[in-house]
């Protein structure tokens, strides 16, 4: 008997991870290539095709690829394209889904990485049977995927869910998007780093973070310092959670989700970030929503969220759902 699988891919500016994944979310084969090695997207597609063909042969023809799912920054679901991704060497609008479809002869679906994570969370993670939820990725920036009525909210053009660019402070921190006060300038790994240096500037603390450069500073280090009782690091988490919680209170008024899921580098700080976020959200939320919206961590392993999400997208689009 031949088992149907999908090819799930997480394509970023640095690496392209790809894996064979079955309907239950088992990863049967996994590999990667450095994206930046390839001058053209098509040359990347050809290498992945060659590598996956070899893998299929090694697996003795017991598996067949039914579809391809891709999560990528600035991915547009409707058009199957990566559009003007700032961290990619390929410029402009790349019709990547079309390239993969041509090379493999199977349907290919593409969306941005946060949306893929949302679909993965629905199929394999903590949002099974949840029809209304929001997933927030706290990485270098802040990404988001919104599910309403059991379906991802893409918006009319595929660009819905840019919650990192909701303005939360008028005249606030400069954002890479050209505007000021965007949520991701506060609530993200980069955001908390900026908060750390703002607190250092104040000069009221004696902190172990004083010996680390901005570029060396990581979410993990700030977490470690906070767990060691470093007041500056603890305050940085409180400030970050306070701002994120206020923003979440407003998001709840939009879609009244059953659940908010966090993942990404800063979410790995667990209670350090979840506790102040939850407290601030509850303090600022409209009465009808109070104590109704849990904030939980992703149910998927950090380095598998994107791959499982891409695979879940492919299964879902084929109309096949896990039990």
Q: What is the CA radius of gyration of the chain?
A: 20
With 0-12 CB in 10 A as exposed, 13-18 as middle and 19+ as buried, what is 177? middle
Q: Out of 90, 154, 237, 263, which residue is the one contacting its own copies (CB under 8 A)?
A: 154
User: Rule CB under 8 A: is residue 166 a binding residue for its own copies?
Assistant: yes
User: Rule CB under 8 A: is residue 176 a binding residue for its own copies?
Assistant: no
| Cβ closest to its own copies, residue 170 vs residue 323 | 170
User: Rule CB under 8 A: is residue 148 a binding residue for its own copies?
Assistant: yes
**How does 199-208 read in b/e, with b if 16+ C-beta sit within 10 Å?**
bbeeeebebe
Kindly identify the residues of this chain, within the stretch 227-246, that bind its own copies according to CB under 8 A. 246
| Cβ closest to its own copies, residue 270 vs residue 292 | 292
Which range binds its own copies by CB under 8 A, 44-52, 174-182, 205-213, 220-228? 174-182
| Cβ closest to its own copies, residue 19 vs residue 249 | 249
| Cβ closest to its own copies, residue 140 vs residue 280 | 280
State the minimum distance, in angstroms, from the CB of residue 185 to its own copies.
13
CA distance 109 to 138: 24
User: Rule CB under 8 A: is residue 53 a binding residue for its own copies?
Assistant: no
Sheet holding 133-138, edge to edge: 151-152, 142-148, 133-138, 259-263, 295-297
- Number of Cβ within 10 Å of residue 53's Cβ equals 12
User: Rule CB under 8 A: is residue 160 a binding residue for its own copies?
Assistant: yes
Count interface residues toward its own copies (CB under 8 A): 41
Q: Out of 41, 125, 158, 219, which residue is the one contacting its own copies (CB under 8 A)?
A: 158
Q: Out of 34, 54, 64, 151, which residue is the one contacting its own copies (CB under 8 A)?
A: 151
| Cβ closest to its own copies, residue 34 vs residue 155 | 155
Going by their DSSP bridges, the two strands 295-297 and 259-263 should be labelled as parallel
User: Rule CB under 8 A: is residue 93 a binding residue for its own copies?
Assistant: no
- Print the binding letters for residues 247-286 with its own copies: x by CB under 8 A, - otherwise: --xxx-xxxxxx-------------------------x-x
What string of DSSP letters covers 101-160?
Answer: HHHHSS-EEEE-HHHHHHHHHHHHSTTTT-SSEEEEEESSSEEEEEEETTEE---TTS--
Q: Which residue has the tokens 């239950």?
A: 24
CA distance 98 to 310: 16
With 0-12 CB in 10 A as exposed, 13-18 as middle and 19+ as buried, what is 62? exposed
CA distance 304 to 316: 18
Q: Out of 22, 98, 162, 282, which residue is the one contacting its own copies (CB under 8 A)?
A: 162
| Cβ closest to its own copies, residue 69 vs residue 257 | 257
Q: Out of 50, 128, 179, 220, which residue is the one contacting its own copies (CB under 8 A)?
A: 179
Which range binds its own copies by CB under 8 A, 53-61, 115-123, 144-152, 188-196? 144-152
Nearest to 281 by CA among 254, 236, 247, 231: 247
**What residues line the site for its own copies (CB under 8 A)?**
130-132, 146, 148-149, 151, 153-163, 165-167, 170, 177-179, 246, 249-251, 253-258, 284, 286-289, 292
């Amino acid at each position: 008997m031949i088992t149907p699988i999908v090819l799930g891919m997480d394509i970023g500016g640095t690496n392209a991870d790809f894996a064979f994944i079955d309907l239950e979310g088992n990863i049967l084969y996994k590999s990667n290539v450095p994206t930046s090695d390839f001058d053209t997207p098509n040359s990347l597609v050809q290498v992945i095709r060659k590598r996956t063909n070899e893998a299929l042969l090694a697996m003795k023809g017991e598996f067949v690829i039914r579809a391809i799912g891709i999560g990528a920054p600035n991915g547009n679901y409707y058009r199957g394209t990566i559009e003007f991704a700032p961290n990619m060497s390929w410029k402009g609008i790349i019709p990547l889904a079309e390239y993969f479809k041509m090379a493999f002869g199977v349907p290919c679906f593409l969306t941005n990485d946060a949306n893929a994570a949302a679909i993965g969370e629905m199929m394999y993670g903590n949002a099974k049977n949840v029809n209304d939820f929001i997933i927030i990725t706290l990485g270098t920036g802040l990404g988001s995927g919104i599910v309403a009525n059991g379906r991802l909210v893409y918006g009319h053009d595929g660009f819905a869910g840019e919650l990192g660019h909701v303005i939360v402070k008028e005249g606030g921190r400069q954002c890479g998007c050209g505007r000021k006060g965007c949520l991701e300038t506060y609530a993200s790994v980069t955001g908390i780093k900026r908060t750390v240096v703002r607190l250092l500037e104040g000069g009221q603390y004696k902190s172990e973070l004083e010996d680390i450069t901005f570029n060396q500073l990581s979410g993990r280090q700030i977490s470690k310092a906070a767990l060691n009782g470093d007041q500056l690091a603890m305050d940085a988490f409180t400030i970050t959670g306070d701002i994120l919680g206020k923003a979440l209170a407003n998001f709840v008024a939009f879609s009244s989700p059953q659940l908010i899921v966090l993942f990404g580098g800063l979410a790995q700080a667990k209670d350090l970030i979840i506790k102040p976020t939850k407290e601030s959200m509850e303090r600022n939320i409209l009465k009808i929503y109070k104590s109704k919206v849990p904030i939980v961590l992703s149910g998927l392993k950090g380095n598998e969220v994107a791959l499982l999400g891409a695979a879940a997208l492919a299964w879902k689009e084929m109309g096949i759902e896990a039990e």
